[in-house]
Every structure is written in structure tokens, then in C-alpha cells.
Amino acid sequence: MTSVNCYFYPYELTPEDTLADGYKSALFKITAATLLIWVDLAPDSKFPHPTSYVLISATETRVEEGGWWPVLNGKRILYGCRNPAAVLSPFEMESSRSC
């Protein structure tokens, strides 16, 4: 069984924020107040690996693919349990992906 880690960013993102994937440098457009859940699909990996960004606003929910930790306004966020802004889900979930 492969598990995944879900991290919940405890602050709302706004259109003024710039959210990017730390590996792919892909920018994710924020058009309204948005909640961020970052899913680490291979938490024991030390190198770039599949991750997902779940972005939830009042009008839409979308999932974006990534490859590393999220970067918000030029700063890495949700980096491990030591990061005080990270709220790690207490639940372990099975991944549908195999390593």
C-alpha cells in the first residue's frame, strides 16, 4: 500500500498571490479567494515526484499537477511538518498510483 500526505494551507489565497510549483515553475492562476490543499503523492521520495494542487474557490474546484513543494509569492510553503504554516492531515489515504 502506498500512502499520500495532504497539506492544508491555513490561509486563503487571493488574486494578488502568485502560486507556483517548486519544480515545474508552473504558475497556477488564482482568480478569487481560494483554499489550497497540496497532496504529496510519494511522501518518502527525496527527488521531484508527482504532487497535486487542489484549489477550491466559491465557483470552482480544480486539480493541478506538480512535482515538488508549492511556492507562494516566491517562498516555499508547506515544507514538511516543521513548517508552522503546514497543517498535515491526520488521515492516511491509499494512493491509486503505484510506484
63-99 per-position pLDDT tens digit: 999 999 999 999 989 876 555 555 555 555 555 444 3
pLDDT reported for residue 5: 84
The whole-model pTM stands at 0.79
Q: How confident is the model at residue 43 (pLDDT cuts 50, 70, 90)?
A: confident
3, with CB counted inside 10 A (0-12, 13-18, 19+), is: middle
Share of the chain above pLDDT 70, in %: 78
pLDDT at 86: 54
pLDDT beyond 70 at 55: yes
Domain ranges of the chain: 3-88
Name residue 7's beta-bridge partners: 38, 88
